[in-house]
Structure 1
Amino acid sequence: MIDVLVIGGGNAALCAALMAREAGASVLLLESAPRAWRGGNSAHTRNLRCMHDAPQDVLVDAYPEEEYWQDLLKVTGGLTNEHLARMVIRASSTCRPWMRHHGVHFQPALAGTLHVARTNAFFMGGGKALVNAYYRSAEALGVQVRYESPVDRLEIVDGQFRAAWCQGERIEARSCVLAAGGFESNREWLREAWGQNGRGEWPADNFLIRGTAYNQGVLLRHMLDEHGADRIGDPTQAHMVAIDARAPLYDGGICTRIDCVSLGVVVNANAERFYDEGEDFWPKRYAIWGRLVAQQPGQTGYSIIDSKAIGRFMPPVFPGVRADSLPELAARLGLDVDTFMRTLNSYNGACRVGRFDHTVLDDCATSGLFPAKTHWARPIDTAPFYGYALRPGVTFTYLGLQTDDTAAVRFGDRPSANLFVAGEMMAGNVLGKGYTAGVGMSIGTAFGRIAGRNAALAARGQSAEHGAVKDEESHASA
């Protein structure tokens, strides 16, 4: 019998598998995707949000615990478990030596990402390189990996894991880590969660999925509905970004994100603005825009900029629609020209331009306009003009399994002794809503390591340990 069964193939699953193996446990990892598509959404990531009290190699200045916590508190609106959140924050300050030990390399922030040069450590080669490094290390350590191996149900007796069923095969293990992602790729579940709006639309029908097609939420549904595991989170809350409407249905990744929102205005299909584009720095607020667009007619928006914005944001994979005048741009985007011009003229006339500086919360704001634009408000008046059609792009969902600082799955508020959860399947404990760049990888890394350590202890009949993993512990048997 295997000691630790890990279900999932992304960052959290790999961290769990590596930790369990380092602790001396035999480990089998089941990844539902084919080898070429392994890694889930982690393959599309590029950085990790890290607490640090002083400059550290690729991280500049300092990003102390309290600032990290306040950033998280702001974007979640208080919908977070402070104890678990602070545990993730503290774990983010110590995990990088362990990551390097397993082949992950870091690089300084690139042009276009300087807003997060102080807060986030970037992976050299991005998330795909990180995933590949972890798989190489896992295989070298003797972790068994099976691809195209979806698990559809578990045997659980009195809250204790017994076995998993994978394509008709029963797989027993002494303990198990669930790290199989959310349900963002399950269109029917998204439709169920979002329902029908007052315009008779089914918003979820127009959602694009930024990441993997393999996160169907099968095990999550099974745990909630069949086994009554304690749940956390709202099924409509997700890491949801405004992305190019021309993006593919799955796996568009970062390159389809539209990052010029804060440099211009966003209008809906009625050619009207609907939110403050300059509310806060883009890395803190970019993940609200998918949900905002999802609430608009046809789940569509349009990001409008002029030539002054060019070179100030990460260019997307598709070029914007270009025009030499604003009426021409409206026509090319299929928007009502008269309404569009009223919206743009009202905005331009309300701009009170101060000292524009996109690296700070500057004093360029609108006056007497609703909704206001509170920073970086400059008239859109310099040809050529550009427009990008937007759709909601779902990265991962927040509905998940409730846990504690041992990463144990809970049943009726009683923790399981040998079933643990990590990554997107429990991220809602920390992320009730909202997002800030890199925190998903922080959660997956912290809880993946905790779950893997405690699964190895459970396989030996020992009780789970509370709290974050320290690097000196993780290298004990490496």
Structure 2
Amino acid sequence: MSKDPDVLVIGGGNAALCAALMAREAGASVLLLEAAPREWRGGNSAHTRNLRCMHDAPQDVLVDAYPEEEFWQDLLKVTGGKTDEALARLVIRASATCRPWMVRHGVRFQPSLSGALHTARTNAFFMGGGKALVNAYFRSAERLGVQVRYESPVDRIELDGDRFVAAWVRGERITARSCVLAAGGFESNRDWLREAWGQNARGEWPSDNFLIRGTRFNQGVLLKQLLDLGADAIGDPTQAHMVAIDARAPLYDGGICTRIDCVSLGVVVNREARRFYDEGEDFWPKRYAIWGRLVAQQPGQVGFSIIDAKAIGRFMPPVFAGVKADTLPELAQKLGLDQATFMQTLNDYNAACRVGTFDHTALDDCHTEGVAPAKTHWARPIDTAPFYGYMLKPGVTFTYLGLKTDETAAVHFGGRPSANLFVAGEMMAGNVLGQGYTAGVGMSIGTAFGRIAGTQAAQAVLKGARHANA
């Protein structure tokens, strides 16, 4: 197996695979280094389900239309303006044209699943989920002659100024004429999380209570090294795709099935049995990824999602059953919450509900009055037994601190783009996601910039060859 390819791709998820495929299709020889063993390949992409897609008319698995401006406004709203508009619009437009290419590489799509966050119009779902997508890409890559090495974590990068020279894997030096970095964020690095989040006023380390929804292999080794070598940074190290998940989830690789999707159908309280945020602020696809951060800011980094029988059947059931009780006081006791405070919170909320026409598929007129925080939509009294409670913890999917780039996917050093070092996926997502998230946009970013990075890396090889022959 050659260790001196034209293009070296570091990473094994969606962005890395898109880059490897594009570079190979452009005629470059490609070596892909995946840190994980073969059975754990694919990084966080293996846990994904869909891609957010711009489209101007109904398509095979997408209903109605989702035009560029609406996609942009959705992204602008969740990021609070912390986004590079030019790069965001690049991603949005690319999402309209990538699916035929994905199909050519074996990816299959299906309509939105029932109860899947109201995404039938905006998101194309992968048949078989992210694992099937990753497997399809690996099959296509190997068929095209992309070399793949598993259990090959890159220890360090060798640069000449801002030019890539070589990568080191367990003492082995691998040279290449260009390189694509797509090795994910640093969410699995507990020490870095501690450094980013620090201690709170009680002397606790909040990040010690975080669970990692995806791969344990995203340690941020290359990200940290590139920043130390002078690459330009983008993003806040405490910002991340962070979801409220079941507190019983495993430390790593819990994936989609541990997410709690009933938040907007009930109330959420902290361990002091008090509400702390508007559960009905907006549609769940636009708000589900803020709840991990909200829970992270609560005492002990825990929360409790409370629903009644009226909510059952309206959300994707998680893998763990909720705590069930016939009365609210019994539920408080089973969850370990102060019963008097819990009942005051629920009674105040119930009395404040102004129920109109309940419609969980629309921003309905069911809201609260005279209680703080308000619940602006889908507010109904929690009064119908049985009652259910889910203990929540923050589940980190990926971090947003990354490498600054431009429309060519080049890594920047001192404001100047490298001629042969490119970046894609979670390592640069902070250019588009300064904060917040909307369902499926991570795959949109990874697919768009993975394809750009692979194309540019192959072109850099050709430019280098022309210069050498001049």
Corresponding residue number in structure 2 for 1:466: none
Corresponding residue number in structure 2 for 1:275: 277
Secondary structure of the residue aligned to 2:419 is: strand
1:421-462 residue CA offsets vs partner (Å, 9 max, x unmatched):
000000000000000000000000000000000000001126
Equivalent in 2, 8, 12 of residue 5 of structure 2:
2
Corresponding residue number in structure 1 for 2:468: none
Aligned residue identity for 1:361: L
Corresponding residue number in structure 2 for 1:286: 288
Query: In the TM superposition, what is the alpha-carbon distance from 1:94 to its structure 2 partner?
Result: 0.1
TM-score normalised per structure 1: 0.96
Secondary structure of the residue aligned to 2:394 is: strand
Secondary structure of the residue aligned to 1:13 is: helix
1:231-267 residue CA offsets vs partner (Å, 9 max, x unmatched):
0000000000000000000000000000000000000
1:126-152 residue CA offsets vs partner (Å, 9 max, x unmatched):
000000000000000000000000001
Q: Does structure 1 residue 40 correspond to structure 2 residue 43?
A: yes
Secondary structure of the residue aligned to 1:115 is: coil
Query: In the TM superposition, what is the alpha-carbon distance from 1:200 to its structure 2 partner?
Result: 2.0
1:304-327 residue CA offsets vs partner (Å, 9 max, x unmatched):
000000000000000000000000
Corresponding residue number in structure 1 for 2:126: 123
Matched ranges for 1:214-363 at <5 A: 214-225=217-228, 227-363=229-365
Secondary structure of the residue aligned to 1:450 is: helix
Q: Does structure 1 residue 455 correspond to structure 2 residue 457?
A: yes
Superposition CA RMSD, Å: 0.8
Corresponding residue number in structure 2 for 1:50: 53
Corresponding residue number in structure 2 for 1:70: 73
* Cα distance in 2 between the residues matched to 1:452 and 1:123: 22
Equivalent in 54, 60, 64 of residue 61 of structure 1:
64
* Cα distance in 2 between the residues matched to 1:353 and 1:115: 22
Secondary structure of the residue aligned to 2:342 is: helix
Residues 285 and 438, structure 2, Cα contact 8 Å, conserved in 1: yes
Corresponding residue number in structure 2 for 1:108: 111
Query: In the TM superposition, what is the alpha-carbon distance from 1:199 to its structure 2 partner?
Result: 2.4
1:276-325 residue CA offsets vs partner (Å, 9 max, x unmatched):
00000000000000000000000000000000000000000000000000
**390 and 114 in structure 1: CA distance in 2 versus 1, 3 angstrom threshold:** closer
Query: In the TM superposition, what is the alpha-carbon distance from 1:114 to its structure 2 partner?
Result: 5.8
Equivalent in 155, 158, 161 of residue 161 of structure 2:
158
Corresponding residue number in structure 2 for 1:475: none
* Cα distance in 2 between the residues matched to 1:121 and 1:363: 29
Q: Does structure 1 residue 389 correspond to structure 2 residue 384?
A: no
* Cα distance in 1 between the residues matched to 2:433 and 2:266: 28
Secondary structure of the residue aligned to 2:6 is: strand
* Cα distance in 1 between the residues matched to 2:139 and 2:14: 13
Residues 117 and 285, structure 2, Cα contact 8 Å, conserved in 1: no
Residues 409 and 424, structure 2, Cα contact 8 Å, conserved in 1: yes
Equivalent in 207, 211, 221 of residue 210 of structure 2:
207
Query: In the TM superposition, what is the alpha-carbon distance from 1:201 to its structure 2 partner?
Result: 1.5
Corresponding residue number in structure 2 for 1:415: 417
Q: Does structure 1 residue 445 correspond to structure 2 residue 454?
A: no
Aligned residue identity for 2:143: A
The farther-off stretch of 454-463 and 229-238 is 454-463
Aligned residue identity for 1:42: S
Query: In the TM superposition, what is the alpha-carbon distance from 1:158 to its structure 2 partner?
Result: 1.7
Equivalent in 128, 143, 147 of residue 144 of structure 1:
147
Query: In the TM superposition, what is the alpha-carbon distance from 1:348 to its structure 2 partner?
Result: 0.3
Q: Specify every segment of 5 or more residues in structure 1 that has no aligned partner in the other structure, as ranges.
A: 464-478
1:374-403 residue CA offsets vs partner (Å, 9 max, x unmatched):
000000000000000000000000000000
Secondary structure of the residue aligned to 2:164 is: strand
Residues 75 and 438, structure 2, Cα contact 8 Å, conserved in 1: yes
Q: Specify every segment of 5 or more residues in structure 2 that has no aligned partner in the other structure, as ranges.
A: 466-470
Equivalent in 86, 91, 100 of residue 88 of structure 1:
91
The farther-off stretch of 196-205 and 420-429 is 196-205
Secondary structure of the residue aligned to 1:100 is: helix
1:55-81 residue CA offsets vs partner (Å, 9 max, x unmatched):
010000000000000000000000000
Aligned residue identity for 1:105: R
Secondary structure of the residue aligned to 2:463 is: coil
Equivalent in 163, 169, 174 of residue 171 of structure 1:
174
Aligned residue identity for 1:268: N
TM-score normalised per structure 2: 0.98
Aligned residue identity for 1:399: L
Query: In the TM superposition, what is the alpha-carbon distance from 1:197 to its structure 2 partner?
Result: 1.0
- Using the aligned pairs only, state the percent identity: 84
Q: Does structure 1 residue 23 correspond to structure 2 residue 37?
A: no
* Cα distance in 1 between the residues matched to 2:205 and 2:175: 41
* Cα distance in 2 between the residues matched to 1:220 and 1:67: 33
1:2-38 residue CA offsets vs partner (Å, 9 max, x unmatched):
1000000000000000000000000000000000000
Question: How many residue pairs end up in the alignment?
Answer: 462
